[in-house]
Structure 1
């Protein structure tokens, strides 16, 4: 019951964000402020406090890396097969990338941190870094190739390297592996800032949702939802059960890969020739339905 209440609270904050956008309280400028606060402040703080006292050798293993890549590319391959007959290339490219591109930073890691212990959160932070380094370039590449988009892939990759989320992960792991002691007051302060990551992210997600009822393709959107928040976590469950990883790694992997489609895919689709309305609808659909699927996942794992 506690998990359900927690997830319903997340949905409530998400809907509040959508309501504030509809009423004009959260316009584009204010949404950007909130987004910047979450992206450059709260989320990096959460990642750092989750990893600064962990040695990288204790978190990143061959099994974890291999399992993550297996699930990611298997889901992408299945999505490619299922969506290959879509008549619109712009819609087909978006359907493929949104079937595997997870919302690990804004929803996954904060949700794990709010639900599980520090050991699971530390592994989730590493998963965020590893998968982001792969799924972002893969998404850009698919959209560019399928839509013949004119994009500077090198620029996208450079931006990824400068990503504050990844930088905070590397700094946290470096501090943990080197044995540097972080003062208690600093750790407490960063922990307080990091606790704001989830509510800020949910408000931003809600404020960024754009849904046009007249353009809904239930079949295509249903396929994306099924692949992203049902097929992908099921694959993760099978793969990491087979690899016999430790409980913290199993929990973090299944929950993180069971998160909805990342909001950033809407931005990528808009910039790289994808169907932006379809992309927005899929973000909304996967986020909404994930409240139920994540409840099931967390309950089963717990």
Structure 2
């Protein structure tokens, strides 16, 4: 019941964020402030405290990197096969992207940190880094190529190189690998900041969710939901069980890859010619449905 309680609290925060947007409290400016606090402060603090006392060779193994690339590649390939006959390129591109692009930073890592032990959280931080490096360039490539948009891939890659979450991951792993001690006062302060990662992220996600009823395509949205929160974690479970990795790695990868479609896919769809109303609906539905599927996943792997 503890896991169910956590996920229901997650849903309550999502609904609360959406409600604050509806009544005008979380307008665009205030949501941007909360988003900046989560993105530049709370999430980097969470990643750093999870990794600063871990050597990189203890976390990033060939099995972990290869398994993540295999799960990601298979999911993206299946998504292309499933959605290849969608009539409009704008909708087809969004459906493909949202079938594999996971909400690792705002939901996955904070949820893992709130639910599992430190060793699982440390591996989940590495999962976030590896999968982000895979999914962001592919998402830009798919949307821009199918929609004929002039995407500045080089600019996005430069932004990725200065991503505060990835930089905090690299800093934590570098310090852990060099066995450098960090002052207790510093880690205590960062630990306090990291506690705000999940609530801030959930409020931001809730404030960003939108539903446009005329855009509903039950078949396409159902396929996105099935691929993102059912097929992808199932593939992770099968592949990492086959690789015979430790329990912490299986737990971290299955839960992280079982997260819903990232809110950022709506932003990318808007910028690169995708069907933004369809994208917004899919973010909402996958997030809502993931409450149930994440409960099942966490119960099974936990």
Scaled by the length of structure 2, the TM-score of the pair is 0.99
SS at match of 1:92: helix
- 2:205 is the alignment partner of 1:205: yes
- Flag structure 2 segments of 5+ consecutive residues without an equivalent: none
**1:87-236 counterparts in 2 under 5 A?**
87-236=87-236
CA distance in 2, matches of 1:250, 1:225: 22
SS at match of 1:119: helix
Structure 1 residue runs of 4 or more that deviate by more than 6 Å after TM superposition: none
- 2:295 is the alignment partner of 1:295: yes
**1:242-253 counterparts in 2 under 5 A?**
242-253=242-253
CA distance in 1, matches of 2:108, 2:130: 14
- Flag structure 1 segments of 5+ consecutive residues without an equivalent: none
Residue 43 of structure 1 corresponds to: 43
CA distance in 1, matches of 2:154, 2:214: 37
- 2:29 is the alignment partner of 1:29: yes
**Aligned-pair distance for 1:152?**
1.1
**Aligned-pair distance for 1:214?**
2.1
SS at match of 1:270: helix
Give aligned pairs, total.
302
CA distance in 1, matches of 2:215, 2:61: 44
RMSD: 0.5
Q: Alpha-carbon deviations, 1:71-97, whole Å to 9, x = none? A: 001000000000011001000000000
CA distance in 2, matches of 1:152, 1:102: 22
CA distance in 2, matches of 1:27, 1:132: 28
- 2:61 is the alignment partner of 1:61: yes
Residue 8 of structure 2 corresponds to: 8
SS at match of 2:200: helix
CA distance in 2, matches of 1:18, 1:218: 23
Q: Alpha-carbon deviations, 1:242-281, whole Å to 9, x = none? A: 0000011110000000000011111111000000000000
CA distance in 2, matches of 1:288, 1:213: 16
**Aligned-pair distance for 1:151?**
1.6
**Aligned-pair distance for 1:177?**
0.5
Scaled by the length of structure 1, the TM-score of the pair is 0.99
